[in-house]
Structure 1
Amino acid sequence: MFRNYKIYMIVVCMAALAACGKYLDRPSPDQAIGKDQLTDNDIALLLKGAYLSMSGSWPPQSYPMTDIYSDDIISLQGGNPAQFNPQAYEACNASPNDGFGIGRYYIAAYTTIGNANFIIGKIGNPSTPALRQILGEALVIRAHAYNQLAEIFGGVVLITSVETDIDRIRKAKSTESEVLNQVEKDLEAAIPLLADFSTPKAASKQAAQLLLARVSLQRGKHARAKELAEAVIATGKRTLSAATFSNIFRYNSPAQEMIWQMSDGPMPTAYERYGLFSFYSPAPPFLGNGTGLTTMDDALVDSYEANDTRRELVRKARQNATGRDANYLLKFSTDTLQPAAAVYVIYPLMRISEAYLISAEASARQQTVDVTPYNALRTARKASTKNAADFADAAAFLEELEKERRRELVGEGRRWQDMKRFGSALPFLVSKGRDSKRLWFPFTNAEILRNPLLEQNDGY
C-alpha cells in the first residue's frame, strides 16, 4: 500500500514540476517531493511517466494535424474553432483559438519536456549502466518533443532544467536554430548512452540516430544525415518487411520495421476506440464507424503501382457528404479489427523505411544519384525498381524521392516538414490563398496569456 502511495506521489510530483509545459503556471509546493528523496528505482517509474505524457490527453486530435494541413490528407470535417477543426487545417488557416489540436500538441510536448528535464537533472553523471540508459532515453524524449515544436512553431521557449520560479518559466522564445541546436546536442549526448534496439516502445540507440538523421537532413547537414541513416540500417536490428504492409502497424507485430512508437490502450469500449481509425475510416456500415470526411489525396493514391503492398491500406468507399467514391487510409485500423480486449492504437514515431529514404535523399542533396536504398524499399513493397540512368540528374531523383516519401509515410506526420524541405509548401499555400506566414502554426491565445513574453508568430 505504501509503495502504491509513493508511486502516486511521484506522478503528482512530475505533473507539478512539468508546469512549464502544462499551463506555464507555478506548481503547488505541497504536491511535490524533493528530488533528493527519489531512489534509482523511482527514476525508472518517472521515465514511464515521461513516455505516457508524449501522446497528450487525446492523441488523435494532434497526431494528424500536419498531414491534413499538407496535400496528403483531405478533410471535410468541421468543428468549433476553439476545438479541433480539421477544415481549418485543410484551408491552411490554423486558429490561435484551437486549444484542442494545437493547444494539446503544445501542452503534451512541454509536459514531456518537463518530465525529461526532471530525470536529466536528477541523474546528472550516471554511475550505472541502468542510469545511463534512462538518461539517454530522457534526452531522446526531450529532443523529440523540441523537434516537434520546432517543426510547427519554429522558435519556442527553450527550458532545459526544472524551473519552479514563474519569472524563469515565463520568458521569450528562442529561435528555431537555437532549439534545433539543443535537439542535436541532446541526441549526440544520448547515442553513446543508449543500448541497441530491443523494443519499439522505448527510445534506443537506433531511435536516437534516426531522429538525428531526420533533423540533420532538414538542416542541410547531408553527410551527417546519410552517415546516421546508414548506421541504423547496418545494425540489422530493424529490417524492411517483405510481407503484408498492414502487419507493420499492429500492436506487438512480428514485422521488424517499427523503431519507435507510441501506443494507447487497451481500449475496451466503443467510445475509447474512436481514435485515428474512426477519424480516417469510411462511415458505417464499415466497422470503423467514422464520419467518412477525412480521405487521402487521389493523386497520391494513383501513384501506387498495382502490385505495391502499400495499396492494401487504401480503401475506396462512397463518401456520403459528396456523393462520390473517396480513398480512405486504413493505416491505423488493423488493431481495431481485433477483439476489443486486444486493441491498442499505434502511433508510429520512426520506422526503418525512413532510414532508407534519408540515405537516398542525402546522397541526392550531394548531387549523387544512389538508387540502392530507394530500390531496397521499393523491392520490399513489391514495386518496380529504377536505374540511376533513369533520372536525368540529382534534381530529378529528388522529385521522385519526394513522391516516394508520400507513398511510404502518409498519415505519419512527416509530410508538412517534407513539403517545406522540398520547396513545395509555399506553392501549396498560395493555391490555398495563403502566404509564407502560414508555414508555421500559431501559438494558442491561452499560451500567450499564460506567458506574456511569448511572441505570437507573424500573421496571426
Structure 2
Amino acid sequence: MTTRNILLSFSAMIAFSACSNKLDVRPDNLVAPSQVNSQNLPLVLNGAKLGLTNNSFYGYFCLSDYMSDDVQGLSLAGYESCNIPINDNTLTFAYRYPYQCIANANAVISYGEAHASETALNATVGEARLLRAFAYTILHEQFGKVAIMKGGEDPLTLPERNSEADVKAFITADLKKAADLLPDHTGQTLKASKQAAQLLLARFYLNEGKNTEALNLAETVIASGKFALQPDKYGDIFKYNTASKEMIYAIAETSSGNSLNYGLPNVYGPGGKNPDGTSIAGGGSTWIDSTMVKTYEDTDTRKAYYVKKTGSSITIEVYFLTKFPMEVTPAYPICRFSEAYLIAAEAKARTGVVDVARFNELRGKRGASLKTNADFADAQAFLDEIEMERRREFVGERQRWNDMRRFAKTKPWLAGLRQPEGHVLMPVPERILTLNPNVKQNADY
C-alpha cells in the first residue's frame, strides 16, 4: 500500500476515500502531501476520521461482535459461524478503511515531526497518532499481521505484512506519544485527549497480559478527575457530541439523506414502526444473546436498553439492543470511563488479588447489587464475574471478541462451531491477495 495523496475534509463537505492504488481506493477529494500546512492540518486530521468511517463505520464496526457469543443474527452468517468467505465484500472494507485513516494520519504526523517547534500543532498531531494506533489496532485484532505504513513509501512497493510483535510495538509507541502530545480532556468527546490515549493503552496492555501497566494507567485515568460515573444516565453516553462525563472519546459520521436509521441503531435495532408511525431503526435481523441479557438485575439501569419483540426478519421474540440512539449524526464509542474501573479490577485479579472496590463503584452507579471480597472463592471466580460484567457494560461496542480471547473462550467457541483455531482471525480479503502477491493468507483459510 502507498500514500500518494491524502483526503482533505472540510466541515461542510462529505469526502470519501483516500490512500492507495494498491487497495484500489478511488479518491474524490485529494490533496498532495506537499500541500499540507499548519492551517489545513486539522482538515487532514478530519480526513483520517472520514477515511476510517467512510460514512458507514457500522458496516465493519460490528463484525467482531458478530463472531462472538454476544450477538446473533441472520445477515452476516459467515461472521457468526466464524467461517468468513475471503471474497466477502464487507471484509474488504474492514481491511482497507483503516488504511485510509492511516494514510491521512501519516501526513499529519509527518508534518508535525517536521515542524516540532510549532507546539500549537501538538493536539492535532497527538490525535493523529491516536487514530493511527486505533486503526492499526483494528487491523491487528481482525487480521493479525499487517503491513506497517508510515507514509512516503515507494508507490510501486508491494509490502509484506509485519510481524504481530512489530505491529504491537508500533501501536504502543503511537499511544505513548499521543498521551504525551494530547491535552487533558476538556469535555469535548469528539476530540482526543491524554486520557483517551492512556485508556486505549491500558486496554492494549490488558490484552497483552501486562497487568501492572494496565492497572497503573486505568488508575491514572480515574484519578484525573476529568470524568464521573453518572447514575440513571446510561443512554446519554452514546449520543452524538454528548455532554456525559462518561464518554472519553467517540468518532462520529454524518448519515446519508439526514436519515435517523443509520449507524449502530441500523445494526442492532428491531426495525418496524412506533405507535405514531415513525420508523424504528434496524433490520430486525441482529439480536443479543438472551442468556447474557437475563443476567441483568431488575434494578440495573442498563436493562432498560433492550426490547424483546419479533424482528422484521424473524418470527420469534428476541432481545434487541437499543442503547445507541437514533440520530442524524451517529457516534461510535471508542473508549468510555467505565472501562477504567473494570480494567483496574481485572488487572488486580489477574495478579491473584480479589479487590471489589472498583468493580462495586461501577455496579453501584448502574443500580446493580454490590459484592464483597468474601463473595468470591478465589481470583478466578472474581475474574469470571468481571467477564460477565464487561458483557453487560460493553455489549455492541466491539470489545467482546478480544475479551473472549483474553478469557480463553475463543478456542472452545470455535470448536463448538466446528471451526479451526486459526479462525480467531478474519481471512485476508481475496482482493488484497490478488493485488499484492507478497501478502499470504491467514492460517486455516
**Contact 2:60 2:94 (8 Å CA) reproduced:** yes
Pair 1:185-2:173 in alignment = yes
Q: Which residue of 2 aligns with 1:283?
A: 271
**Contact 1:14 1:46 (8 Å CA) reproduced:** no
TM-superposition CA deviations, 1:319-366 (whole Å, max 9, x none): 46543211100122x234xxxxxx321111110011111111110111
Q: Which residue of 2 aligns with 1:329?
A: 321
Pair 1:362-2:347 in alignment = yes
Alignment of structure 1 residues 14-413 onto 2, 5 Å: 18-19=19-20, 22-23=23-24, 33=32, 35=34, 37-77=35-75, 86-99=76-89, 101-124=90-113, 126-167=116-157, 170-198=158-186, 199-265=188-254, 268-270=257-259, 273-286=261-274, 287-319=279-311, 321-332=313-324, 334-336=325-327, 343-413=328-398
TM-score, scaled relative to structure 2: 0.91
Give the ranges of 4+ consecutive aligned residues of structure 1 lying more than 6 Å apart after TM superposition: 11-14
TM-superposition CA deviations, 1:169-228 (whole Å, max 9, x none): x11111112101100011112211110012111211001001110111111111000001
- CA separation of 1:12/1:294 partners in 2, compared to 1, >3 Å: closer, same or farther? closer
Query: Which secondary structure does the structure 1 equivalent of 2:53 belong to?
Result: coil
Q: Give, in whole Å, the separation in 2 of the partners of 1:354 and 1:391.
A: 21
The one-letter amino acid paired with 1:438 is H
Q: Give, in whole Å, the separation in 1 of the partners of 2:311 and 2:55.
A: 30
Query: Which secondary structure does the structure 1 equivalent of 2:422 belong to?
Result: helix
- CA separation of 1:452/1:236 partners in 2, compared to 1, >3 Å: closer, same or farther? same
Identity rate, percent: 37
**Aligned residues: CA RMSD:** 2.4
Q: Give, in whole Å, the separation in 2 of the partners of 1:184 and 1:451.
A: 27
The one-letter amino acid paired with 2:364 is T
Q: Give, in whole Å, the separation in 2 of the partners of 1:225 and 1:65.
A: 26
The one-letter amino acid paired with 1:75 is G
Query: Which secondary structure does the structure 2 equivalent of 1:74 belong to?
Result: strand
Higher helix share: 1
Query: Which secondary structure does the structure 2 equivalent of 1:159 belong to?
Result: coil
- CA separation of 1:298/1:228 partners in 2, compared to 1, >3 Å: closer, same or farther? same
Q: CA deviation at 1:137?
A: 1.2
The one-letter amino acid paired with 1:257 is E
Q: Give, in whole Å, the separation in 2 of the partners of 1:405 and 1:13.
A: 36
The one-letter amino acid paired with 1:372 is A
Greater Cα shift, 38-47 or 442-451:
38-47
Q: CA deviation at 1:265?
A: 2.2
Q: CA deviation at 1:291?
A: 2.8
**Contact 2:70 2:395 (8 Å CA) reproduced:** yes
Q: Give, in whole Å, the separation in 1 of the partners of 2:237 and 2:296.
A: 18
Q: CA deviation at 1:279?
A: 2.6
Query: Which secondary structure does the structure 2 equivalent of 1:400 belong to?
Result: helix
TM-superposition CA deviations, 1:128-156 (whole Å, max 9, x none): 32212222111111111111111111111
Q: Give, in whole Å, the separation in 1 of the partners of 2:65 and 2:414.
A: 14
Q: CA deviation at 1:459?
A: 1.4
Greater Cα shift, 274-283 or 292-301:
274-283
Q: CA deviation at 1:21?
A: 7.4
Q: CA deviation at 1:310?
A: 0.5
List gaps (5 residues or longer) in structure 2. 1-7
Query: Which secondary structure does the structure 2 equivalent of 1:323 belong to?
Result: coil
